[in-house]
Amino acid sequence: MREEIIIPNLGLTMDEAKIAEWLKEEGELVEAGEPVMAIETDKTTMEVESPAKGYLHIIGRAGETHAVTGVVGWVAGSREDYEAGLAEGEEDGGGLNQGHFSTDPMPVEAKSPEALDRPGAKEAGGRRRISPFAWKLATKHGLDIEAVEGSGPKGRIVKRDVLAAIEGEAKLRVSPLARMASEEYHIDLHAVEGSGPHGRIMRDDVLNAMPKGSGIAGELKRLSERRPITGMRRVIFDHMHRSLQQSAQLSFFMEADAEELMRARRILLEAFKAEETNISYNAMLLKILSHALRAYPILNASVTGDEISLWDSVNIGVAMDVDEGLVVPVIRDVDTKGLLAIQGEMDVLIDKARSRRLLPDDMKGGTFTLTSLGHLDIAGFTPILNEPEVGILGVGKIMEKSVACAGNLKAGWRIMLSLTVDHRIVDGAVAARFLRHVKVCLEQPYRLLG
C-alpha cells in the first residue's frame, strides 16, 4: 500500500506552494508523522509530515511550485511495494496522481526533465524525453542531463543511460574545490590535466586551464562557501527588493521619554501577576499604535494598484526573528482588544514562529507593522516597509542617558522611534504628526485609559 504526500492546504489564502527542500532521501525509511519535506509560500516555510511509515519516493523536486493537494511523492509500506512502485514508474513514466499511477504526475511547468531543450531526441513540440527514475538518479549524482544520450524508445533517456554516464564520470578524479571552480568558470574537466595523486584534478589545475588574460588565476580573495538563495531567505530576498522598488520610502526619527512607559509596565506586571502573564513593551506599543492609527487612518492603509485602500480593521504585524530569517505574524483588531488579549495572541504566535508552525493566514491581512531591535542593543534603525502597507514603526533600545532639564543635566531613560512611510501616499507633515502622537501616548500611557 502506498500513501500519497500532497501539498497541504494551510489556509484560506493559499492556493499553491513551492517545495523548498526534501528533508529525507529517496528510498529512506520514514516514520508516520516525521517531517519529510519543507514547503514555502509567499510568507513562510512549513514542514510536511509523512502520512505513514514506509519507504519514501520523491516525485516533485525542490524548487518546483505545485497547487494545493497536488501529489509530490508517496510512501510505500514495504520495500517490495516500493520497488514495485519504482518499476511501474519506470515503465509508464509516472508516479502517483490522485491515487493512481499516471504518465503525467506533474504540471508541465514543474516537469524539468521533460522540458530540457537540446538537439537530439525530443518529443513533438521540442521537449526532452527522460524517465522519472532516470531523472531522479541523475539529480542525485549531480549529472548533467545534457551530456547523456538516450537509448530508450524514440531516444528516451532511461536508467541504463544514466548509470553508464555516472560510471564514466566516476573515472574522472576531481577534488571538490576543482569541481566547484570548473562550474564557476565553465571549464571542461575532461580537457584539464590533473597534477594530484593518481592524476587527480586539483583547483590550481582548473585555474591554470583558464584562457590567458582572464585574470582568474590571480584571485585577490578566497571563497569560503556558496549558499543558494532559497527557502525563507528567498522569500525575504524578493520581498525586500520589491518593497524598495515599488514605493518611495521616507523615514522619520524621534526620541521619546520612556520613564512613564517603564513605570506603567511595572504596575501592569504587578497587577497581572495572578494571571502569570508577562506584559511586554511590544504589547503596550501595539495598543499605542492602534490609538495612533485610528487618529491618522491614512497610515492604516495599503496601495492596491492605482488605489489607496484604507482599512477599517487595525491589524498590526509584529516582526519576529527566527533561525531561518524574519517572519511577520499579524495581531488582528488590536484597537478592540485589551493588553491581556494582545499579549496572549502574541505569545501564541511567538511559539508558532519558533516551532515553524506559522500558517500563511497567520501572516496575512496586516495593515501596519511594528519591528523592534531593542533586545539586540540597537539604538535606532531605518525599517523597510512591509509592502503593500504604507507604514512601519521601528523601536530601539530603552537607554539611560543625560537629558537637559531646565538648564540642568539629569539621568533619564530614552527610546528612539523610527517611522518609515510610503511618501507617495503619506505626506511628510502627516507622518511627523503621527509619530508625535505615538510619542505623546508613549510618554503618557495613561491617556489611553480615557
Indicate which residues carry an active-site annotation.
423, 427
Measured distance CA(347)–CA(353) in Å, rounded: 10
Task: State the CB neighbour count (10 A cutoff) for residue 406.
Answer: 5
SS3 for 434? helix
Burial zone of 314 (CB within 10 Å; 0-12 exposed, 13-18 middle, 19+ buried): buried
Task: State the CB neighbour count (10 A cutoff) for residue 352.
Answer: 17
Instruction: Phi first, then psi: give them for residue 114, nearest 5 degrees.
Output: -95, 0
CA angle 292, 294, 297 (to 5 degrees): 100
Helix-strand-coil split of the chain, %, nearest 5: 35, 25, 40
Q: Is the dihedral of CA 54, 55, 57, 58 positive or negative?
A: positive
Measured distance CA(24)–CA(375) in Å, rounded: 36
Say which residues have a Cβ less than 8 Å from residue 378's Cβ, sequence separation at least 6.
Answer: 396, 397
Burial zone of 247 (CB within 10 Å; 0-12 exposed, 13-18 middle, 19+ buried): buried
